[in-house]
Amino acid sequence: MNVRLDIEYIGTNFCGWQKQKTTPTIQDELEKSLKKIFVEKIILLASGRTDSGVHAYNQVANFYVEDSLKMNMVQLKNKLNFLLDKNIKIKRCTRVSDEFHSQHSAKEKTYLYRIKTFEPCSVFEENRFWFIKRELNIDAIEKISKIFIGEKDFKKFCKTGYSGSTTIRKIKKISIKKKSNYIDIFISGNGFLRGMVRLIVGCLIKYEQGGIKESDIKLAINNKKELKLRLSAPAKGLYLYNVKY
């Protein structure tokens, strides 16, 4: 039996998605809970890894297990939510075909980056937004964001240790929505390299602030200039928003 999980989580207290030996991760918490239910080791396959401190509105994962328990998917969801850390919630459990793979079957992913300006974050917003003290010029951000649209080599826009055989990815859309002093940046593409979204967002903001030129970004996309990792936007404002299949 192949089971799909749709998951939401606050990543503040976790060292990312991928299981590690000595630090708490989303994958580890989920696999421990699944083991308690099925009384066997379960290996979760995710649509992609999220870094330490990154959140998810809709992460997708799947796992294979013997169908011996004949468990109802609603029951499975409820049992998992009872066992899991309060910052992780299963939205849906679904039986899927054996061919479904949460990563390889994905057609498009959308990330959301959230920024709050001018007024500091409340206690309910801490670790959920990137706080920037002054207002931002949305027109300037939208203008420079168009450079990233299309199929390009994003080798200079990722951290080391990226997965896959190529650094070419296709950004399908970048949309920016502003409401009062809240700014949401949505980035959709066929896949993303490690740290890629945070570096793109960091470039957008650094450009608006006058700290980086349009020519610098174009040279980086053409693999003719290195971008410093300090341009990377903080992890706390990033959310895996949606995965399409």
The residues annotated with a catalytic role in the active site are 51
Same domain, 134 and 218: yes
pLDDT score at 178: 96
| Alpha-carbon span 93 to 83, nearest angstrom | 15
Cross-strand pairs, 177: 184
pLDDT score at 229: 53
Contacts of 200 (CB under 8 A, 6+ apart): 148, 157, 187
Same domain, 77 and 126: no
Residue 133, domain extent: 108-244
| Alpha-carbon span 169 to 152, nearest angstrom | 6
Check: CB of residue 111 under 8 Å from CB of residue 191. no
Burial of 33: CB neighbours in 10 Å, binned 0-12, 13-18, 19+:
buried
In a domain, 231, yes or no: yes
Which of 71, 96, 121 terminates a domain? The answer is: 96
Residue 34's CB: how many other CB atoms inside 10 A?
24
pTM value is: 0.93
In a domain, 222, yes or no: yes
Same domain, 177 and 156: yes
Same domain, 124 and 85: no
CATH code for the domain of 82: 3.30.70.580
CATH code for the domain of 199: 3.30.70.660
Using only C-alpha atoms, the chain has a radius of gyration, in whole angstroms, of 19
Same domain, 121 and 237: yes
Check: CB of residue 159 under 8 Å from CB of residue 194. yes
Q: What six digits make up the tokens of 82? A: 């009872």
| Alpha-carbon span 177 to 188, nearest angstrom | 14
pLDDT score at 163: 58
Residue 43's CB: how many other CB atoms inside 10 A?
11
Same domain, 112 and 55: no
List the beta strands (DSSP E) in 11-167. 45-46, 55-64, 88-96, 108-117, 130-132, 150-153
| Alpha-carbon span 133 to 48, nearest angstrom | 32
The rounded average pLDDT for each run of 10 residues, N- to C-terminus, in the chain (245 residues) is 97 94 95 94 94 97 84 93 97 96 96 97 96 95 96 87 78 96 97 93 94 91 76 95 97
